[in-house]
């Protein structure tokens, strides 16, 4: 019965994991599909996935012990929720509190379920597939002539800025996945076909996404693409020089071909980026930032309430800067909590292997560009990537520790005279085994 229960628990956790993969694949859809009376499809699937995971946790009575990252996330959640008591827009603050609860819950869920690097890569692949659907919706609307606003196209149910952000943040993910797997001399033909197929899928995303971003005529979207493409070019050439050169030539050709379909109005708006910066307007954002400064000066420490700035601002618009929004709405305390959380994640990414570290730091650089002109503190893609970095950090740590213990054991077998110094005591051995096992709680 004990073995049967373990098998049932493993199956339930496996199902929970695959539900998270579906959830992640739907994230880039954003507001594309709405279910009457229930909200967006991605939200419904996310809530269902979280509910099933909670059921598994209650059924097993086990959950992986949180790390300081999760404590920081809970602290940020606690403070943003506490701003309800002095918010100038209580209803909006309540809604934002529930969003942050879902984001922190997702972080805990991914931390508990993801214990292999292949799981992280599968989740990233699901995100790229979802971004494909988003890009396809943009191209379809362009074919129909259905503009989001004049001269700009977006996915169904979304605005152009959202489209550019979703497609841009997936660019480094696609580049990374196109180089992460390489066939070896012993790889069989079917595995080679699978690897080359997924490489093609991920590389093909790049010109399609860039075309869709150009159709959105979003200026920061083009800026986001610069570090992503530089990272991709470097990764391709570093992985396999001949393959990289051929791939780059094919990509450039594909981009040039697809760009011929982008209307002149989109290019004209993109060309006005420099003028917008020189004029100090940035599409009205500078005026919003001035109003935000006035709001912050009134309550510099505790803020005016999470997501309450649109209630303070007569135009009802957000401040369009992640850090400024958090500072104004949650005060210095909230901004310190948020930045501490972000820095902790970047430190985790820095400690990964060179290839993985470069990828994650590039992704957050791309996110950083958009965070300067968008309000992304509550964005689910942002919280997803935070969660995956932390999960991968733990996975890498387990692998490094396991390799160290294995190497020490090998040295002991080859040199029995050192056994007394290398072999741990029985108590230490048990502690080491518990620490190294990915599914300890099982």
For residues 165 and 193, state if they share a domain: yes
For residues 79 and 36, state if they share a domain: no
Mean pLDDT of all residues in 118-124: 96
Boundary (domain end) residue, out of 215, 237, 271: 271
Question: Which of residues 442 and 394 earns the better pLDDT score?
Answer: 394
Which of 246-250, 326-330, 387-391, 429-433 comes out lowest in average pLDDT? Answer: 429-433
For residue range 254-282, list pLDDT tens digits in order. Answer: 667 666 666 665 556 555 655 555 555 56
Q: Decide: helix, strand or coil at residue 304.
A: coil
Residues 407, 410, 414, CA angle at the centre, nearest 5°? 140
Rounded CA-CA distance 157/163 in Å is 10
Asked if 312 and 287 touch (Cβ cutoff 8 Å), the reply is no
Length of the chain measured in residues: 442
Asked if 171 and 209 touch (Cβ cutoff 8 Å), the reply is yes
For residue range 226-253, list pLDDT tens digits in order. Answer: 899 889 888 877 766 666 666 667 667 7
Is the confidence at residue 421, as pLDDT, over 60?
no
pLDDT reported for residue 433? 35
Tokens of 80: 């943003």
Mean pLDDT of all residues in 39-49: 94
For residues 23 and 100, state if they share a domain: no
Rounded CA-CA distance 393/345 in Å is 9
For residues 140 and 193, state if they share a domain: yes
Boundary (domain end) residue, out of 233, 248, 271: 271
Mean pLDDT of all residues in 110-135: 96
Residues in a beta bridge with 152: 149
pLDDT reported for residue 219? 80
Residue 428 within a domain = no
Asked if 161 and 219 touch (Cβ cutoff 8 Å), the reply is no
Residue 409 within a domain = no
Domain of 203, in residue numbers? 117-271
For residues 93 and 81, state if they share a domain: yes
Residue 310 within a domain = yes
Number of domains the chain is built from: 3
pLDDT reported for residue 109? 97
pLDDT reported for residue 405? 77
For residues 225 and 146, state if they share a domain: yes
Asked if 225 and 216 touch (Cβ cutoff 8 Å), the reply is no
Binned at pLDDT 50, 70 and 90, residue 58 comes out as very high
pLDDT reported for residue 404? 76
Asked if 98 and 39 touch (Cβ cutoff 8 Å), the reply is no
Rounded CA-CA distance 362/231 in Å is 7
For residue range 364-403, list pLDDT tens digits in order. Answer: 999 999 999 899 999 999 999 999 999 999 999 888 887 7
Is the confidence at residue 436, as pLDDT, over 50?
no
Tokens of 304: 């005016």
Residue 57 within a domain = yes
Mean pLDDT of all residues in 281-299: 80
Which of 168-182, 387-401, 410-424 comes out lowest in average pLDDT? Answer: 410-424
For residues 188 and 313, state if they share a domain: no
Question: Which of residues 207 and 3 earns the better pLDDT score?
Answer: 207
Residue 221 within a domain = yes
Asked if 153 and 162 touch (Cβ cutoff 8 Å), the reply is no
For residues 121 and 254, state if they share a domain: yes
For residues 264 and 296, state if they share a domain: no
Question: From the CB of residue 204, how many other CB atoms can be counted at a distance below 10 Å?
Answer: 16
Residue 211 within a domain = yes
pLDDT reported for residue 437? 40
For residues 178 and 204, state if they share a domain: yes
Rounded CA-CA distance 302/182 in Å is 51
Q: Tokens 């790390």: give the residue.
A: 67
Residue 217 within a domain = yes
Tokens of 339: 């930045």
> How far from 391 is each of 111, 114, 256, 349, 388, CA to CA, in Å?
5, 6, 38, 10, 5
Is the confidence at residue 431, as pLDDT, over 50?
no
Query: Global pTM?
Result: 0.87
Residues 104, 107, 113, CA angle at the centre, nearest 5°? 140
């Amino acid at each position: 019965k004990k073995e049967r229960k373990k098998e049932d628990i493993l199956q339930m956790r496996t199902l929970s994991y695959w539900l998270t993969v579906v959830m992640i694949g739907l994230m880039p859809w954003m507001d594309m599909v709405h279910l009457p009376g229930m909200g967006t499809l991605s939200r419904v699937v996310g809530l269902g996935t979280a509910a099933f995971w909670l059921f598994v946790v209650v059924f097993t009575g086990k959950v992986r012990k949180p790390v300081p990252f999760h404590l920081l996330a809970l602290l940020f959640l606690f403070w943003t929720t506490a701003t309800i008591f002095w918010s100038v827009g209580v209803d909006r603050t309540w809604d934002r509190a529930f969003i942050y609860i879902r984001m922190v819950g997702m972080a805990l869920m991914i931390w508990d379920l993801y214990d292999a690097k292949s799981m992280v890569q599968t989740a990233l692949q699901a995100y790229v597939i979802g971004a494909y659907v988003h890009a396809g919706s943009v191209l379809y609307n362009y074919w129909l002539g259905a503009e989001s606003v004049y001269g700009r196209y977006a996915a169904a149910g979304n605005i152009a800025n959202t489209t550019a952000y979703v497609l841009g943040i997936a660019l480094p993910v696609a580049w990374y996945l196109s180089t992460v797997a390489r066939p070896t001399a012993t790889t069989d033909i079917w595995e080679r076909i699978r690897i080359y197929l997924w490489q093609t899928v991920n590389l093909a995303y790049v010109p399609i996404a860039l075309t869709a971003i150009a159709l959105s005529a979003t200026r920061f979207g083009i800026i986001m693409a610069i570090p992503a493409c530089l990272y991709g070019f470097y990764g391709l050439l570093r992985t396999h020089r001949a393959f990289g050169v051929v791939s780059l030539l094919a990509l450039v050709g594909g981009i040039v071909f697809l760009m011929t379909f982008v209307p002149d109005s989109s290019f004209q708006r993109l060309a006005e980026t420099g003028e917008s910066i020189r004029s100090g307007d940035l599409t009205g954002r500078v005026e919003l930032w001035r109003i935000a400064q006035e709001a912050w000066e009134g309550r510099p420490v505790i803020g005016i309430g999470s997501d309450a700035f649109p209630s303070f601002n007569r135009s009802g618009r957000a401040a369009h800067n992640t850090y400024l929004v958090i500072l104004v709405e949650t005060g210095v305390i909230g901004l310190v909590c948020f930045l501490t959380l972000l820095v902790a994640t970047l430190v985790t990414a820095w400690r990964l292997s060179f290839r993985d570290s470069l990828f994650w730091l590039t992704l957050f650089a791309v996110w950083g560009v958009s965070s300067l002109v968008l309000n992304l503190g509550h964005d689910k893609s942002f919280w997803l990537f935070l969660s995956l970095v932390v999960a991968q950090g733990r996975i890498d740590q387990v692998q490094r520790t396991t390799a160290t213990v294995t190497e020490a054991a090998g040295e002991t077998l080859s040199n029995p005279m050192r056994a007394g110094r290398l072999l741990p005591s029985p108590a230490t051995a048990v502690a080491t085994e518990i620490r190294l096992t990915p599914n300890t709680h099982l």
